[in-house]
A and B are shown apart, each in its own frame.
Chain A
Amino acid sequence: MSGRRAVAALALLVVAGAAWGFVRETTVTGFPDQGKCLWWSTRAITFKVNTTSAATPPGGRAACPDCEPCYDAAAAAALIAQAVPTWSAATRTGEGSACTDLAITSGGATTSTVLGNDGQNLVVVRNGWCSQTTVVPLGDACRGAVGACAAKYNCWEHGPSGTIGLTTTTFETATGRILDSDIELFGWDGTASGTGFYLTCAASPSCGQSPKATKERDCTAVDLASLSLHEAGHVVGLDHVDIATAVMQPIIPTGSVRRALDADDVAGVCTVYPKGAATLTCGGTSGGDAPGGGGCASAQGAGALTLLGAALALLRARRRK
C-alpha cells in the first residue's frame, strides 16, 4: 500500500468512527455517534453539595445517623468538594501546569434537593426509593405527579436500578450548550438488606464483604471521591471509555479507588476546554469550530485527530526524503 493510500485508509477509518480515546457526550444519550456534543460556554462552573439526606431528611422522614455517607456528612461533603474540581487541574505528563482553564469550584454546602434546569449545579446524596411507603407516604400528593417526590423527600426515584450515581445534564438541543448539570448519588438507607450503597471516604483499606451488616468504618466500599470524580466527568461533557485506568471507565470494583485523572481523561478535558483557546464545540456556535472538522459527528476525541495527524506527518516526511 502506498503512503497516500494508507493515509486515505486511515482517514476513512477515523471518519467512520473507529472507537478509541476519550468520548464526548452528545445530545443523544447512549449514542455518542449521534447528535451534538455537549459543552459549557463558560469556563467557570460552580457546584454545591448536599449530603444531609440521612441526618436531616426532608418530608418528616426519620433521621438515620448510620446512613450518613462516611458516617460523617460534613466529611463526605468536603471530599466531594475536593474531588470534583480535580478536572480543573488536568495536567499532561511532563508539563508543570494545567492544560485547561476550566475552573470548577465548590460553592459550599446546601440543603437544596432540586435537580434540573435551575442554573444551580448540585451534587446530592439521596436515600431510600421514592416508591417505598416508608419513604414517601401513600397519601402524599407527590405520588400523583411525575418527578415530584424526589426533591420533596430527597429520595432515589430511579427504583431498583443497580446504579450508584447519575448525572442529569440540561442543554440546548440546537447547539449542545450545557445549561445545568446535577449529580445524584444513592446512599445507603441504614438497613442490612436495604437500598442504596455504602458510600465511604477512606482511600484504604478495602471494607469486608458485608460492611452494611457490620457497619464497618474507616474502610473503602464505594469510594465517594472516585464516584464524584467520575460523575463530574459527565458534568464536563465526557462519556464512558473502555480504558482500564481512566476515570471515565464505567466500572470500578467495590473497595477500590480511582481518584486521579488518566492521560485519556486529561486529553478529553484539555481538548474540549484548552487553556487560553476556544472551546471545542460541534461547530457553528460560539467558542469556535471543531479543529479539522472533526467535531462531534463521530464523537471522537483528540486521539483520533492525533492519529490522523501522525499519519499525515509520516507521509510528509516520506515526501521530503
Chain B
Amino acid sequence: MRTSLVLAGLLAAAPALGAEAVALSVEGLARASDAVVRGQVTRLEATASPDGLRIYTLVDVQVAATWRGGAAKTVRVIVPGGVLGRIGQRVEGAPAFAEGEEVVVFLSGAEAGAYRVAGLAQGKFSVAGVTAAPDTRALRISTRQVAAGERPSEAMPVADLERRVRSVP
C-alpha cells in the first residue's frame, strides 16, 4: 500500500510535456501568405541545394480549393530538411508532410517557382474529417503575441479555419 502511494506520488510529481505555446494567429499567417490552399499531398522528393550541403524536401500538393490568393492546380512546397541516401537533415520547426495527407497550407512565394510554408510548422494544418490541426510540437522560441479577436494556429474545425482565412482582407 505504502509502495503504491509513493509510486503514485512520484508519478504525480513528474512534469508532463504539454501543449506548445503558439505565436502566430491564423489571421496573421493569412496576411503573411501569398496563397492559402487546401489540398492533398501527392508526392515527396528530397533534393540537395546546389552546393550539395543542404537537404530539402519538395512537397507537391494537388489543390482542391484556394482560400486566399491565386495558386495553380498543383503547387510545390519547399520544406527544409529531409533524407537523401544515408544522410538526413533535421530542421527544428519545419512542418512534416506525408503522401496522401490532406492539408491546408499557408504559402509564401519562394525560389524555383515554388513556395515555402509561411510560419513553418504553424502554417501547415493536417485535415482529418472536419478538423484541421497544425503539428506544433517542434515550435521554438517566439515572442509574438496573438492579436485580440484572432485565433492562434491550433486545432479547429476546417470550416472555422477557412472562414478566418477568407475574412482577412
Judge whether B143 and A38 touch: CB under 8 Å: no
B6: min CB distance to chain A, Å: 6
A85: min CB distance to chain B, Å: 20
Q: Scan residues 96-146 of chain B and give those whose CB is less than 8 A from a CB of chain A.
A: 96, 108-112, 114, 116-123, 135, 137-144
A220: min CB distance to chain B, Å: 11
Q: Which residues of B contact A197 (CB under 8 A)?
A: 143
**In the complex the two chains form, what is the Cα distance from A168 to B80 in whole Å?**
9
If A114-B53, A160-B118 touch, does A20 touch B14 (CB 8 Å cutoff)? yes
Nearest opposing residue in chain B for A141, CB measure: B50
Q: Interface SS of chain A: helix, strand, loop or mixed?
A: loop
Show 23 residue pairs from A and B whose CB-CB distance is below 8 angstroms, ordered by the A residue: A3-B4, A6-B4, A10-B7, A20-B14, A23-B17, A27-B90, A29-B81, A29-B91, A29-B138, A30-B96, A31-B137, A131-B111, A131-B116, A158-B116, A158-B120, A160-B32, A162-B144, A164-B143, A168-B81, A170-B55, A171-B88, A250-B140, A314-B7
Q: Which residues of A contact B90 (CB under 8 A)?
A: 25, 27, 29, 38, 168-169, 171
Q: Indicate the member of A10, A21, A117 with the most B CB atoms within 10 Å.
A: A117
Q: Which residues of B contact A166 (CB under 8 A)?
A: 80, 91-93, 140
CB of A44 within 8 Å of the partner chain: no
Classify chain B's interface size. 35 or more
Nearest opposing residue in chain B for A197, CB measure: B143
Judge whether A164 and B141 touch: CB under 8 Å: yes
Chain A residue total in the interface (Cβ 8 A): 75
Q: Which residues of B contact A (CB under 8 A)?
A: 1, 3-4, 6-7, 10-11, 14-18, 20-21, 23-24, 32-33, 47, 49-56, 58, 78, 80-81, 83, 86-94, 96, 108-112, 114, 116-123, 135, 137-144
Q: Which residues of A contact B123 (CB under 8 A)?
A: 161
Q: Interface SS of chain B: helix, strand, loop or mixed?
A: loop
B4: min CB distance to chain A, Å: 5
Judge whether A310 and B112 touch: CB under 8 Å: no
Q: Which residues of A contact B (CB under 8 A)?
A: 1-3, 6-7, 9-10, 13, 18-21, 23, 25, 27, 29-31, 38, 114-118, 130-131, 142-149, 151, 157-174, 179, 197, 222, 227, 230, 234, 240-243, 250-254, 303, 307, 310-311, 314-315, 318
